[in-house]
Structure 1
Amino acid sequence: MSFSRAIKIAPSILSADFANFGAECDAIEAQGADWVHVDVMDGHFVPNITFGPSTCAAIRKHIKGVMDVHLMIAPVDSYIDAFAQSGADVLTAHLEAGPHIHRTLQAIRAHGIKAGLALNPGTGLDAVGHLLDMVDLVCVMTVNPGFGGQKFINSQIAKVQSLRAMIGDRPIHIEIDGGVTTETAPLVAAAGADVLVAGSAVFKGGSVSAPQAYGDNIRAIRAAAEAAIR
């Protein structure tokens, strides 16, 4: 998993057919997805329940590229081992999920995988500077976490710009999660993001039996983002 600031599209399987995850992962990668994003929710830290480590392990065999696992759970530390062993390439924890985020990031990196730090819309960047040498990715939530299909929160664009300046030349990805469409992708790309998580915007209009729409949607989002940084 070499570092690049090129635009990467990471479809969220939260918007996929839950009864057909393996085939959905195969389909989105065949249609041009760079990463596969797995939103893990616990019904406690966020008001929804989704997947556990066994689901991640089951779909791992269907993912040829990067499996990007976003832990929206609290407490988080006791589950890091299980999700790391499920085959995650990137494991992201929330700054807000516990009192010892530095320890959490250490635990993730101890497994030899990439460590991500996620920030809710109401969370500032004050604490992030002290953690940049511990992270490979910062995920800026552009919706409140917990559900797919929410409206993009425009105030987060300035946060992305500030974060990009803080990162400087460090090899750290900026990921955007929430409300990514062909309209919002150029805004966050221009601000400095390079990994764009998209759920409904990728999966709309398609299915495992008719996956061409997935490819059309991925190409449209990528083109819109890349046009903003040429």
Structure 2
Amino acid sequence: MNVDIAWEKSCLIVPSLITFDLSNLERATEVIAASGLDAVHLDVIDGHFSPSMPLGIETIAHLRRKTDLVFDVHVMATRHDYFIDALLDIGVQQLTFQIESEPHVDRMLNHIRSTGVRAGVALKPSTPLSTLEFVLERCDTVLLMLTNPGYAGVRGETQVPYAERKILALRAMIEQQGLATAIEIDGRVSKGNISRFAPAAVDMFVAGSMCISRDSPATGLSELVELRRALLATLPSGINRQ
């Protein structure tokens, strides 16, 4: 896998693995790779921070041996240490963890980055951006959750109404500090969201059930690839069009 090329791309679309058939995850990674997308998003949840446990460490270790896709992993746990260390041993390319439940945010970011893995924090919808004040410069990525973690699949769950305001405020904060921190969004991300925010405001989009059907995922992936191609065609010269 060429990790550098993957992260340098504009408008990186990362399919969420839990959107696919959970009984055949190896096949899911094959379908993603065949679509031409470079990365897959994996949610690791302890069942306490959020009421779900879709993917275990052993499952991710097995998949790592089966695919060269870039692994973008979001850890949602009351204690991160065990999961972070296990995932670093497996060989992932980006790790984000919930800022709300980590007592030593800067230490964890430094620990992850010291291994050569991209590090970032994830914020629940209601968590203010002020929590980033002293750690933003250490973040390769900030993941903004637009729905409450673990509830995206619940009937009636929608993106928070202040999603756009928060995204644009974070972009302004990053630019004001002259940083290269990427913005990633997750939580009922639609093709409309991608069209609205790429590539000026958001760098990475976690694509789930709003974009990909579990019954025919290849169709949704193909549409995402075409959407990305169309968006990149509108970029001015000098911008990375990969």
Q: TM-score w.r.t. structure 1 length?
A: 0.88
Counterpart residue identity of residue 187, structure 1: R
Of 200, 206, 211, the residue aligned with 2:209 is: 200
Of 175, 191, 195, the residue aligned with 1:182 is: 191
Structure 1 match to 2:52: 48
Contact 1:137 1:175 in 2 (8 A): yes
Structure 2: stretches of 5+ with no match in the other structure? 237-242
Give me the identity figure in percent: 36
For residues 76 and 52 of structure 2, what CA distance do their matches in structure 1 show?
A: 10
Moved over 3 A (4+): 147-150, 223-230
Equivalences for 1:62-81 in 2 at 5 Å? 62-81=66-85
Contact 2:10 2:199 in 1 (8 A): no
Q: Is residue 154 of structure 1 aligned with residue 158 of structure 2?
A: no
Task: Tell me the CA shift for residue 76 of structure 1.
Answer: 0.7
Equivalences for 1:1-230 in 2 at 5 Å? 1-2=3-4, 3-4=7-8, 6-149=10-153, 150-168=157-175, 169-189=178-198, 192-204=201-213, 206-207=215-216, 212-219=218-225, 221-222=227-228, 226=232
Contact 2:48 2:77 in 1 (8 A): yes
* Count of residues in correspondence between the two structures: 227
Contact 2:20 2:214 in 1 (8 A): no
Q: TM-score w.r.t. structure 2 length?
A: 0.84
Task: Tell me the CA shift for residue 229 of structure 1.
Answer: 6.6
Counterpart residue identity of residue 102, structure 2: G
Task: Tell me the CA shift for residue 173 of structure 1.
Answer: 1.3
Aligned-CA RMSD value? 2.3
Structure 1: stretches of 5+ with no match in the other structure? none
